[in-house]
Amino acid sequence: MPPSPLTGHITLVTGASSGIGEGVAEALATHGATVVAAARRQDRLEQLVERLRPNGATAIPYALDITNATNVAQCITDVVERYGRIDSVVNCAGIMLSARTAQATVADWQRMFDTNVLGLMAVSHAAFAVMRKQRSGHIVNISSVSARLANPGSPGYAATKSAVNTFSESLRKEGAPENVRVTVISPGIVKTEIFDHLADAATRERFKRMLEGMTPLTPADVAAAVIFALTQPAHVSISEIVLRPTEEIE
């Protein structure tokens, strides 16, 4: 059996302690990549690594708060010092504190922008500097269909994901002459614990009804899209992948 195209690939996955990030980290490691699994919850990362190790996968935990730019820069430095390069970054870390504007708080909006936008930008900024010098690399940013279709109940979250898309497209154009690719993955409803953080009862009920009316995506489904983008030939850049549950209409 031929080796996977990702054998020996060095990747950093943020938000790897749960949800989409955990699914992406697991899939990449299973496909032969060396995964630096980063998140704030060190205990969850250790559990992930222990689960992967018996199957011969290579993953290491890295405690990281992406809202701290100094820690982010140190993380990228540590990865490069350990492995000599960084081939990709998959920005999965994010929070969804959805609520209608009247029930939302500015503090929750601030938290979402600090993580979903500025944290993602900090990781991309540090990784992009290395990738330009290497003249190779791939940044994958997990966005959402909410960036395209903002619905009542999630104006702040939708705004953060729209910002991710805009930032990513600008970064893609800057990276193209340096052989650095940028991909946005925009999933619809994915069954994760992110729905546990919804801020008000009306929004929780709305998402509950949507989940009951369909078979949602899984983190593994999103991970498959990430792997597709990362395994394209060097001359092929996948700018964006939008994936939804078949039954999702909104």
Q: What are the residue boundaries of the structural domains of the chain, listed by start?
A: 10-243
What would the mean pLDDT of 216-223 be, rounded to a whole number? Answer: 96
Decide if pLDDT at 1 tops 60: no
Out of 62, 109, 157, 195, which one is annotated catalytic? Answer: 157
pLDDT (0 to 100) of residue 212: 76
Q: Which CATH class is domain 10-243?
A: alpha beta
What would the mean pLDDT of 229-250 be, rounded to a whole number? Answer: 93
pLDDT (0 to 100) of residue 2: 61
The 10s digit of each residue's pLDDT in 77-102 is: 999 999 999 999 999 999 999 888 98
pLDDT (0 to 100) of residue 70: 97
* pLDDT cut 90: percent of the chain above it: 78
Which two structure tokens, joined as six digits, stand for 180? 């650095």
Is residue 148 within 8 Å of residue 188, measured between CB atoms? Answer: no
| Residue 157 designated active-site | yes
Q: How far apart are CA 199 and CA 155, in angstroms?
A: 12
Query: Left if phi > 0, otherwise alpha if psi is -120 to 50, otherwise beta: which for 135?
Result: left
Query: Left if phi > 0, otherwise alpha if psi is -120 to 50, otherwise beta: which for 225?
Result: alpha
pLDDT (0 to 100) of residue 57: 86
Confidence of residue 250 (pLDDT cuts 50, 70, 90): low
pLDDT (0 to 100) of residue 194: 65
